[in-house]
Amino acid sequence: MFSVIDFLVVVIYLIIIISVGLLLSRKKSNTSEYFFANRNIDWFIVGSALFASNIGSEHFGRINHLSYN
């Protein structure tokens, strides 16, 4: 189970992530700048991010299963 150190690491991580998000959101004037990067990102970067976020552990397990059989 969780020990005190584990709990502290999770809490510190969450505090850091929330702090960075709040600091960066204050620099933006509207939600389009925050969520869409003011629409200044190249299509290749967006496509690569979508492709990478679609790959999960089940894909690697399935690839191993198909190569074994």
Q: Is 54 helix (H, G, I), strand (E, B) or coil?
A: helix
Stated pTM of the model: 0.48
Give the domain range for residue 25. 4-68
DSSP 3: -
Total tally of structural domains belonging to the chain: 1
Quote the CA–CA distance of 59 and 65 in Å, as a whole number.
10
Vertex 55 angle, CA 67 and 44, to 5°: 120
What is the tens place of the pLDDT at every residue in 17-48? 999 988 887 877 777 776 777 778 888 988 88
Q: Which long-range contacts (CB under 8 A, 24 or more apart) does 29-38 make?
A: none
The pLDDT value given to residue 68: 64
Q: Is the pLDDT confidence value at 12 over 80? A: yes
Q: Is the pLDDT confidence value at 56 over 60? A: yes
Q: Is the pLDDT confidence value at 8 over 90? A: yes
Quote the CA–CA distance of 56 and 58 in Å, as a whole number.
5
